[in-house]
Structure 1
Amino acid sequence: MQIMMDVIPTIFEKVDFLASHSYPASNIGYGFNVPYDQGIPGLLYYQKELDTIGRSVQVLITETGWATNVNPTCTEQEKAQWTVSAFGLWRNDSRVMGVMPFMLQDAYWGDQIQWKLLINKPKQFVQCFLRFLAFTILKMLKKLAHSM
């Protein structure tokens, strides 16, 4: 982001929202796929991005989540519990308008199914996407209610 601002200093004055990949990580740029309590620096990475651009805009977390088959590994139950905790973290930030767990993973990062989720389990994919939309709509309604 800093390089972009060095080249075009006003670039972030022209954006309406920020898309962030706030993955659970114990440090910035490394230490990924750690348990929730260790991953908060990465889950809140969008805050550092907002600090970098120097203004507060709406945030869409377009990639986040834990992978089962990556070292360190985690169980599906842990992924579920940690995801619920992460949503609780973001729900209280009025700037976060939507969160989409990274479901379309490649074989290295995820559950060895790659894009097959769309083909083999379209109902699950649609349900996940609808949850993303519901989260986003609820956040927008909450913001609208507070502005009245």
Structure 2
Amino acid sequence: MGQTLACSSRGFNIQLQLRSSKTIVCGDSATGKTFLFELLMNAARDIDNLYFINYASVKSKANRESIIKHIKQAYGQIIIMDQADDVQEVDNRIMKAINENLKNTYIIIGRAPKLNYCFTDVAEVSIKNNLITLEYLESPVLEV
């Protein structure tokens, strides 16, 4: 499936190579995960098909219902979730909706999200000379 999300935000050039419909971004504290989320939110005003979810956005029941409805109905969007571990603890129906809707591309930022995904789709944030990329932990599976 491969897709690239490229944009600039606050002096950083972001080049994310997304291997499949779900990219899991993990890493220790202070490794740039939430920083990447914030930069992408800042760049969103110039990119039409991005949708953001984080812990703050799921605190109210009305917002959760709206997010679940959006995920189920969305098509062709890049849906970016930060604090996935906290989000899934508030309402696991959000993760279920993601697992069921493969019509979008998902960037899920967290330590252990409860989703169906391949280990080859797990990456860490890399920041070098104002360039932000993803470094995948496993090589992609080659189809024969």
TM over 0.5: no
Larger radius of gyration: 1
Decide which structure has greater strand share.
2
Higher relative contact order (CA 8 A, sep 6+): 2
